[in-house]
Structure 1
């Protein structure tokens, strides 16, 4: 455990991507199996220890430490795992029995626990570990590393460590369970390269770069709508169907009707959406799709009220033939044939936008305020389907955001490097009766200098405290940008913003001139 804890500690304080790659690669080369496999599972989010939950950890700490002291410390530090690791008291009598404190030993012990046994075992481990090791254990056990390492970066480090192709690693990753013994056997020449021929595994998505201010020719690029759902990959092979999110998570259980209706062998790329009405209308807003996300069991009522479908973008494998090396226009022709074999009420094609020129496309895009449209995708007609982001192949051209002038109401400390700043802001708009109601919360969009200014404002204008939350004088107007807005029964204001961020600090505008909720309601599409 000591080596893994040291790795996490160094990764947290390392900003350079190349330096992080080297740290992980050196660890993987020096660390034996199965410890390095479990480390990779933790870094990529594939480690599941269901008996260890944040509530258990909080209860353990409350039993050992004054609860008020812990909450004050947590508010100051900004990270629960770090707070627990530092505040956890040494036992009055050192544990007598020997326990395997290697990474694999700890994972083996925690993975077989019942929830009733978890507190005692976890407390015993914390008693035996150093503060750095406690931090690593808690981060690993709760699946919340947040150390600036993505799953892709960890896999890239593995590939670089052993001279492998990262796309080949990605290709078989989801078909191999932690601690990935076949993968390391292949990496070190003890075994053959694993294949995914008969497994419904995830393949890495092809991603797009922001278009920014570039102009492209529609002779070279095809334009499609960028739909506001979640990107999914549908895989069927050997009689098995799986539905994967962009992160490679298996979400089949949340959308069983989609998997059941996909009965043709292949791998397709598309956008998961919910229909606007039960009679098979167009796509509803992302707010409707959210009612289905993350559910382990889906009721018949949920299936009826929020019917899911997939708008197809691309084809990776046609039957048993890998077509990713073909040009986009050839894959598109294949996809148009493939979709005819699927249930039309569950799968349709994302249409190509007919525009005579880039300027004409810009005009079409500017007029698109459909609730389910995020913008436009531009795909080079001769591009192969290549994992990751490759410059010049695919671009995303998001529609211009909506904006509203809102009043800051509450502020909360951030996490990690922002734990010393009040950086999470709840803001509201006025009702016709003059009441200020919360309409959203944002924690990005501002510069470091603006963050310091906002933090000072919060500290100097606090009127009340609720644990880590401060209520402030209702005098500061924030211009808030957001992608769309939807009706919401869960919020007192009746609205919910999609991707809100702080666009500007409006010190020039009196709070009473901020927008009204009725103005936001008028923006709902």
Structure 2
């Protein structure tokens, strides 16, 4: 398959707002992909099959290679070239990578060069097209959407799911199971309107919503692996968690939970201090404490499809009460209010209300889990920053904030803010933002979508100022979220859902 077919399809998908049209375009390409389906899906999803290939933004934008006049590159050749770049290491590796990339870009047309640049710098960001891609895989293979979604939930990888669907159909998709050492996508909570409303879902458990970092732990005897919410392995950076899990009274287990650094009085330390451990290559003095809230496998039994009530029983058997996140099972409204108050008093964000009859819906942000926080926040993408005035002169300050288009279009601007920025954050932004710069004007530095920031707000209002038709009210920066990628940001639909209900 020619690489230009991928580039053309990507452009067609980006040019339409119709979900059906996106699915049809992608499915048509997948049917023709043959043995290159893994690479095709990887490219369209915004990441090479090799993941990061080791080429930095500066290296790529400074290539400036004359484009080819005609499209001749094949998907296979592009995939092989990127594999060669990724495997290059040792003395002289930077020069060798530049040489390999130069040869690849020299064989690419202008449109193909542009696609490659976006792909390798993370700007393509069609990871946000995940739901559309899953529907396209189902359509191309002639299999059920739920079969595809379940296989993806358990594999965590779109290329694996697509290859199975298109080569083996429903039977191959059914062959995916939970495998120790292969992380699954985490189940997510939706914002709840109020505690009383969330309690109305029926039998439930109310748990603290900790201000920590999400972890997924796999244990098979003494073999332990720890993953982040983005499925990145951090086992080597968290030896205290590994030692603790090795000592659990079970042989094989997969746990979902949070970890955080605590002060001597047991209160959570700032989120940034917890996250600093995730980038470490060796043990530091700042120790992490885990709290687990779900168990999806225990000693040979998969529990993904089991109700939460059953998974909770397994969780207690696996880790004991001391490591289970605090909360209350089937509480009265008065008891639930007390759990929320206790969580806030302890320095946490709020609570999560979970339906006891719900299965573990990996990768889904459904209504079975609802987070209740006194201050509403959104995770948004920084699109640009303006130079500051007054005491902020010389610093990149006022942030342009974007919500994710759930169908993979460009990020939708929903507001600006410089509120909440400390002197430390202003200095960090001014140093960090140019690393992600695409272009600038006299007053504004525009960024590729890379940085996720948590924004507190008092509400949302209709507005003609921004394309999405909504604007944030009294937005302020809470913190940056290095544990999240742009596809994890909140969607424009989520932002619009916060609009006040029409009167009457």
- Do they fold alike, i.e. is TM over 0.5? yes
- Residue in structure 1 matched with residue 182 of structure 2 by the alignment: 201
> Structure 2 residue aligned with 1:257, among 216, 220, 240?
240
- Residue in structure 2 matched with residue 270 of structure 1 by the alignment: 257
- Residue in structure 1 matched with residue 148 of structure 2 by the alignment: 166
Deviations 1:410-455 (A, max 9, x none): 4477899579x99655457899xxxx99599879777653459xxx
Query: SS at the partner of 1:449?
Result: coil
Task: Give the 3 Å change call, closer, same or farther, for CA 100–175 of structure 1 in structure 2.
Answer: same
Q: Does 1:449 align with 2:432?
A: no
Pairing of 1:275-314 with structure 2 (within 5 A) = 275-277=262-264, 281-295=266-280, 297-298=281-282, 300=283, 302=284, 304=285, 306-314=286-294
- Residue in structure 2 matched with residue 149 of structure 1 by the alignment: 128
Pairing of 1:291-440 with structure 2 (within 5 A) = 291-295=276-280, 297-298=281-282, 300=283, 302=284, 304=285, 306-340=286-320, 348-353=323-328, 357-358=332-333, 361-362=336-337, 365=340, 368-369=343-344, 373-389=348-364, 391-401=366-376, 410-411=397-398, 425-427=417-419, 438=426
Q: Is the 8 A contact 1:90 1:127 kept in 2?
A: yes
What's the offset of the Cα at 1:137? 1.2
What's the offset of the Cα at 1:312? 0.4
- Residue in structure 2 matched with residue 465 of structure 1 by the alignment: none
Give unpaired runs (5+ residues) of structure 2. Answer: 86-92, 378-387, 403-408, 430-452, 468-472, 481-489, 496-504
Deviations 1:99-150 (A, max 9, x none): 9711221121122134212223323333332222112211222333224734
Q: Is the 8 A contact 2:206 2:331 kept in 1?
A: no
What's the offset of the Cα at 1:212? 1.6
Return the alpha-carbon distance in structure 1 between the equivalents of residues 151 and 67 of structure 2: 42
Return the alpha-carbon distance in structure 2 between the equivalents of residues 172 and 115 of structure 1: 36
More helix by share: 2
Q: Does 1:103 align with 2:75?
A: yes
Q: Is the 8 A contact 1:186 1:194 kept in 2?
A: no
Q: Does 1:479 align with 2:480?
A: no
Q: Is the 8 A contact 1:316 1:385 kept in 2?
A: yes
What's the offset of the Cα at 1:317? 0.8
Return the alpha-carbon distance in structure 2 between the equivalents of residues 355 and 291 of structure 1: 36
Larger Rg: 1
Q: Is the 8 A contact 2:216 2:256 kept in 1?
A: yes
Give unpaired runs (5+ residues) of structure 1. Answer: 62-87, 453-477, 486-498, 504-525
Deviations 1:451-507 (A, max 9, x none): 59xxxxxxxxxxxxxxxxxxxxxxxxx93445579xxxxxxxxxxxxx9xxx9xxxx
Q: Is the 8 A contact 2:260 2:288 kept in 1?
A: yes
What's the offset of the Cα at 1:192? 8.4
Return the alpha-carbon distance in structure 1 between the equivalents of residues 287 and 180 of structure 2: 28
What's the offset of the Cα at 1:188? 8.6
Deviations 1:5-58 (A, max 9, x none): 012212222334443333322221122222x21122231645424232212113
Query: SS at the partner of 2:73?
Result: coil
Q: Is the 8 A contact 1:167 1:387 kept in 2?
A: no
Query: SS at the partner of 1:106?
Result: helix
Q: Is the 8 A contact 2:204 2:353 kept in 1?
A: yes
Return the alpha-carbon distance in structure 1 between the equivalents of residues 155 and 417 of structure 2: 39
Q: Is the 8 A contact 1:41 1:47 kept in 2?
A: no
CA RMSD of aligned residues (A): 4.3
What's the offset of the Cα at 1:290? 2.0
Give the TM-score taking structure 1 as reference length: 0.65
Return the alpha-carbon distance in structure 1 between the equivalents of residues 185 and 298 of structure 2: 16
